[in-house]
Amino acid sequence: MKFYYVYILRCNDNSLYVGITNDLERRVNEHNEGKLPNAYTFRKRPVVLEWFQDFTEPNQAIYFEKKLKGWSKQKKEALIKGDFDRIESLAECRNATHNKYKP
């Protein structure tokens, strides 16, 4: 069975990078070796693998990678820590017009 991995790297400037691969070890090594000079991580090496999730369906992995890329850094940090309550609280709508906040 083939696996696909969505992963989060911590860069040397403490920024987070989200990616997808079918070979996690190889891909992290490529980030650290600087294989692609135009890549986000090229000038932010070394990078450290902070979190990953495996998928058997490539479309699920692609969907989740796109979803994570839209998350705030706080939300990604909560995922890395496994703090699912924090993720839920960060996902709540805080707009004053939201029905939760109407008198």
| Residue 102: per-residue pLDDT | 58
Residues 45 and 11 sit within 8 Å (Cβ to Cβ): yes
- Sorted by where each starts, the structural domains of the chain and their CATH numbers stand as 1-70 (3.40.1440.10), 72-103 (no CATH)
| Residue 98: per-residue pLDDT | 60
Tell me: pLDDT of 95 over 80: no
Tell me: pLDDT of 99 over 80: no
**Digit-coded pLDDT (tens) for 33-51:** 998 899 999 999 999 999 9
Q: Which amino acid is at 16?
A: L
**Digit-coded pLDDT (tens) for 53-88:** 999 999 999 999 999 999 999 999 999 999 999 999
- Find the radius of gyration of the CA atoms of the chain: 16
Alpha-carbon dihedral 82, 17, 49, 19, rounded to 10 degrees: 90
Tokens of residue 88, six digits: 């839920």
What is this structure's pTM?
0.88
